[in-house]
Amino acid sequence: MTDKKANLILPPSGALYELDVISGTEGPDAIDITRLYSDAGVFTYDPGFVSTASCHSSITYIDGDEGILRYRGYPIEQLAAKSTFVEVAYLLLYGELPNAGQLSDFNGIITRHTMVNEALLRFFEGYHYDAHPMAMMVGVVGSLAGFYHDSLDIFDSRQRDICAHRLIAKIPTIAAACHKHNIGEPVMYPRNDLSYSANFMHMLKGTPCESYEVDPLAERALDLLFILHADHEQNASTSTVRLAGSSGANPFACVSAGITSLWGPAHGGANEAVLTMLEEMGSVRNIDKYIARAKDKDDPYRLMGFGHRVYKNHDPRARIIREVCHLVLEKLADSNNPLFELALKLEEIAVNDEYFVERKLYPNVDFYSGIIYRALGIPDNMFTVMFAIARTVGWVSHWTEMVSDPQFRIGRPRQIYDGAPKRDYSPIGERG
């Protein structure tokens, strides 16, 4: 709480309203308008929520002007260099880094929840062989709601925990099964002796006839990508999970709603779209043509992997990923990877172009992630699924935080109505 106040004078009466100003640990202050409608009879208007804080949260902090990202106070650069995805998952969920015993217990729990009910696997039979994996993710993850009736009391912290563990553990299994359905291979069961990332690669690339040896660099690169994508405060998909969950809805169904939101090309779908864009460009010679299209106001075309609602300086995740990209391509792929060369050239041209400089459009996390995924042998249509695996941790952490908040209530935005004023129903024969 704070004793800072903001004054609002409303026309036409000139009535003065005093509003509380809320300060967080860091970041801009926020004007508390909760009682504005009941006291003054007006709404605030902020399409796209550009200036709206929708909740209190102590999970992730972003400073878009300085290019800062911290999970529970820890800089993303330190976590990327020193931590593991499972440790970061614990940190996001519970607020503190685990000690050795806590980490080992948590690892054990996540490992033991990786199998899915056999009946769930039969859901895949209902999908066409070439269904997009994100379409299957939306349906199959939502269907988990029909399996776990022992974790449905969202106000019981133990049940919430079990639900969070199930989601984090089972998402990679479901994700790999989506790919197996696409290519017609048998679903692979998880291996409890492998790390979170190595187990995923085993389920994605292995077959019952031949096991898949995961390269240690690939395992580390994947783990790092999962860390970088694990949370990003109130982004579209996380806000979707929160809003869906605000009605008290089933958490598995809420995460399915988050996957739906993530799929869009303006959000998690961008990593797949970047590769499509680079392939379409084909050569450094065509970059100017595509940049011209992105700048043309009459053309809806955008450079995928550029720009961010919050980062107006640089995306700290993109900096980390760029380095990893070099490393992975050097060791695991053809070092003269033409797409990477093209991406580097595109980045160089765009970041020096007046249009992009003026609008503060820098490469974001998705600009490089697809290139790394491809070098790791992950198919293009699985890129956004990879994002979903990682972001599940953020979604469940935010859902848990929201549900355990004493101020928890249904989210219900208002609108400015621009439709027809009251009019009377006319019989069909009298209409023009």
Kindly list the distances between the CA atom of residue 392 and the CA atoms of 89, 117, 237, in Å, as whole numbers in the listed order: 9, 19, 10
Host H or E run for residue 206? none
Q: Are 271 and 384 in contact (CB under 8 A)?
A: yes
308 carries an active-site annotation: yes
Q: Identify which of residues 190 and 307 has a Cβ nearer to ligand CMC in the complex.
A: 307
From the candidates 165, 179, 229, 308, which is the catalytic residue?
308
309: tokens are 């609602």
Enter the DSSP assignment of 68: E
Q: Quote the CA–CA distance of 243 and 323 in Å, as a whole number.
A: 36
The contact set with ligand CMC (CB under 6 A) reads 48, 232, 235, 266-268, 270, 294, 302-309, 359, 361, 364-366
What separation, in Å, do the N-terminal and C-terminal C-alpha atoms of the chain show?
59
Q: Identify which of residues 309 and 314 has a Cβ nearer to ligand CMC in the complex.
A: 309
Q: Are 328 and 375 in contact (CB under 8 A)?
A: yes
Host H or E run for residue 7? strand 5-10
10: which strand partners? 15
> Cβ of residue 167: shortest distance to ligand CMC, in angstroms?
20
Q: Quote the CA–CA distance of 51 and 145 in Å, as a whole number.
A: 34
Q: Are 384 and 268 in contact (CB under 8 A)?
A: yes
Q: Are 212 and 419 in contact (CB under 8 A)?
A: no
- The alpha carbon of residue 263 and the mean position of all alpha carbons in its chain are separated, in whole angstroms, by 9
Q: Identify which of residues 168 and 274 has a Cβ nearer to ligand CMC in the complex.
A: 274
267 carries an active-site annotation: yes
Q: Identify which of residues 206 and 307 has a Cβ nearer to ligand CMC in the complex.
A: 307
Q: Identify which of residues 218 and 388 has a Cβ nearer to ligand CMC in the complex.
A: 388
Amino acid at 366: D
Q: Identify which of residues 160 and 232 has a Cβ nearer to ligand CMC in the complex.
A: 232
Cis peptide bond upstream of 406, omega within 30: no
The position carrying tokens 């970088």 is 228
Q: Identify which of residues 180 and 267 has a Cβ nearer to ligand CMC in the complex.
A: 267
The position carrying tokens 């509003």 is 19
From the candidates 232, 267, 315, 398, which is the catalytic residue?
267
b (16+ CB within 10 A) / e for 312-329: bebbbbbbbbbebbeebb
> Cβ of residue 396: shortest distance to ligand CMC, in angstroms?
18
- The alpha carbon of residue 281 and the mean position of all alpha carbons in its chain are separated, in whole angstroms, by 27
> Cβ of residue 231: shortest distance to ligand CMC, in angstroms?
11
Question: Which sequence positions are flagged as catalytic?
Answer: 267, 308, 366
